Amino acid sequence: MSAAPPTDAVLPQSNGLFVLTNTTGVRLSGLTLTEATWLLDRDGFVQAQAGCIVKGPAGSDGGFDKWVCMPGSVEVHRGRGCSFDNNAFTRLGAAGIALVGGSQANAVTGSLFYDISGTAVSIGDIASYNETDLDNHDADNTISDCTVRDVAREYLGACGITAFYSRGTMVEHNEVFHVP
C-alpha cells in the first residue's frame, strides 16, 4: 500500500529571497523569511567544507579553479549597521543569511533558523584572506541570542554558524542543536 501524495507541498520558485547591497541602517524585525531554493549551475555540487563548494574543472595539478561559499537566501553585501532581529528563517535551500563583501557592524539577534538546507548564518568569504583594504573587510558583525536547529539538512558539510575571514566578529549566547 503506497502513501497518499502530499496535498500541501510547496515548491519554492525564488532563488534566494533578497539581496541588500551598499545599504546602511536597514532593520528587519519580526518577519518570517521562507520558501526559497538554490539552483546550482552546470558545475553541480562538490562539497569542500563549511558550506563551501568547489567550482570549475580540475587543473593539471589536480586542484580546482576556486572555492565559493553557498549563497544566502538573504544576502547583505557591504551592509553597514543593519539589524535583523526576532525573525524566523525556515525552509530555505541554501544558507539562511550571509553577511559578505565588506559588511560591517551588522547584527542578527533573537532570530530562529530551522529547516535550512545549508548554513544558518554565514559571515565573510573564503577568498578574502588577503584583502588589504580594511574598508572591504567583513568586520564587527554580531550573531547573538539566536536559535539554530535542524540546519545543514541537505548539505551535510555546512555549519550552524560560520565565520570565515572576518575580524571583530561576536557569536554569543546562541543555542545551536540538531546539526551534522
Q: What is the pLDDT of residues 93-124, one digit of tens each?
A: 889 999 999 999 999 999 999 999 999 999 99
Per-residue pLDDT of 120-137, as tens digits, reads 999 998 777 777 888 888
Q: Is 35 exposed, middle or buried (0-12, 13-18, 19+ CB in 10 A)?
A: middle
Residue 6 has pLDDT above 70, yes or no: no
Per-residue pLDDT of 25-48, as tens digits, reads 999 999 999 988 777 766 666 667
Give the per-residue pLDDT at 148.
98
Give the per-residue pLDDT at 126.
78
Give the per-residue pLDDT at 2.
66
Cβ contacts of 27 within 8 Å, gap of 6 or more: 82, 83, 84, 85
* Whole-number Cα distances in Å, 136 to 67, 72, 99, 139: 19, 19, 12, 9
What letter would DSSP give residue 101? S
Of residues 17, 40, 29, the one with CA closest to residue 91: 17
Of residues 178, 101, 103, the one with CA closest to residue 143: 103
| Whether 78 contacts 101, CB under 8 Å | yes
Domain boundaries, the chain: 18-40+71-177
